[in-house]
Amino acid sequence: MNGNTQQTQAEPEAFHAVLTPYRSLGPQGFLALMIALGAVSFVTGLVFLVAGAWPVLGFFGLDILLIYIAFRLNYRSGRLYETVDITPARLTLTRVHPSGRQEQFDCNPYWARVNLREWPDGRTALSVISQGKELAFGRFLTDDERRDLASTLKQVLLAARGGVRI
């Protein structure tokens, strides 16, 4: 697994993974980017102001505001996370939205099947199917991360069904 998933094993027969979206720009990087963009925009706006095109200065401020709003919305969506818990008695998938709302999917691991759908261009989709119900998860993971997670979950489910310790 990589930086987007965390696995812990609280008890020998339990599996727990937390899936989080990857955000490459941290808070300090965001601040540095906004300062750099603001400085470039301000200097360019001053050039237009000196040239007599004073209304352009406001538009340079507007573009920085829109970039800031876009980044804030992106960071807000990054607060989404999903957990996968597997024991011999239960498989539980929980999705926690940025608003705090939770969705939960419970099933018996004996009836659960991990479905990794792959398209010819390399894209993937991951879901769990159990007794006619299907839940897609890990949509924010990369295709390679979904492949790794599917492989891990298949092994863990096999161990949970057979009582084999993982």
Residue from 106, 109, 95 nearest 139 by CA: 95
- At 141, give phi and psi (nearest 5°): -80, 160
Looking at the structure, tell me whether residues 98 and 142 fall in a common domain. yes
Looking at the structure, tell me whether residues 43 and 95 fall in a common domain. no
Band of pLDDT at residue 150, cut at 50, 70 and 90 = very high
Q: What is the mean pLDDT of residues 101-122?
A: 94
Window from 51-55, 114-118, 120-124, 126-130 with minimum mean pLDDT: 51-55
**Number of domains comprising the chain:** 2
Looking at the structure, tell me whether residues 111 and 139 fall in a common domain. yes
Looking at the structure, tell me whether residues 130 and 153 fall in a common domain. yes
Looking at the structure, tell me whether residues 72 and 87 fall in a common domain. no
pLDDT tens by residue, 130-140: 989 999 999 99
pLDDT tens by residue, 26-60: 889 999 999 999 999 999 999 999 999 888 888 88
Q: What is the DSSP string of 51-107?
A: TT-THHHHHHHHHHHHHHHHHHHHHHHTT-EEEEEE-SS-EEEEEE-TTS-EEEEEE
Looking at the structure, tell me whether residues 91 and 149 fall in a common domain. yes
Residue from 86, 104, 85 nearest 95 by CA: 104
Looking at the structure, tell me whether residues 73 and 112 fall in a common domain. no
Residue 66 pLDDT greater than 90, yes or no: yes
Q: Which domain, by its residues, includes 90?
A: 5-21+82-162
% of the chain exceeding 90 in pLDDT: 69
Name residue 15's amino acid.
F
Band of pLDDT at residue 142, cut at 50, 70 and 90 = very high
pLDDT of residue 4: 56
* Helix axis angle, 27-50 to 55-77, nearest 10°: 170
